[in-house]
Amino acid sequence: MRSPKQPAKLTMLLLLALLLFCYGVGNVHCSTIHENRVDLQALLDFQQGIASDPQGALSNWNTTTHFCHWNGVNCTTTPPFRVTQLKLSGWNLAGQITSSLGNLTFLAYLDLSGNNFVGPLPVIGHLQQLRHFL
């Protein structure tokens, strides 16, 4: 006959295994689940427009790190996380500003000063929260 403690032990072991798996024992990183694919894709599209990043400022802009932890990106504090600030000043980035920035509909602060962007500024009319643009 099984002890009543057996199911509890099994449950604890399964929870421990899941936690270890999520914290990197396996190849999955639970912190990289992106609840907001629109903002993620907008930032990745913006990154594609960057032709030169001499200081490696965007080096952690990849899907193994949650976009709210990327250099220069600030987000809301609760899920689904939305980009509220993009502070990319003084990094000597060169390239074009892609229209995908217009999809960051919670963006309130945008600082692209001190870079070498070329081409026209895309329409960013969907940025109704934007209060500061440098």
Summarised one tens digit per residue, pLDDT across range 37-59 is 999 999 999 999 999 999 999 99
Exposure string over 93-102, b if 16+ CB within 10 A, otherwise e: bebbbbbbbb
Whether CATH 3.40.309.10 fits 35-133: no
Q: How far apart are CA 3 and CA 7, in angstroms?
A: 8
Judged against a pLDDT cut of 50, whether residue 24 lies above it is answered with no
Summarised one tens digit per residue, pLDDT across range 65-98 is 999 999 999 999 999 999 999 999 999 999 999 9
Q: How confident is the model at residue 29 (pLDDT cuts 50, 70, 90)?
A: very low
- Whole-prediction pTM: 0.74
Residue 54, SS3 per DSSP: coil
Judged against a pLDDT cut of 50, whether residue 108 lies above it is answered with yes
Residues 6+ apart with CB under 8 A from 58: 47, 50, 70, 71, 72, 93
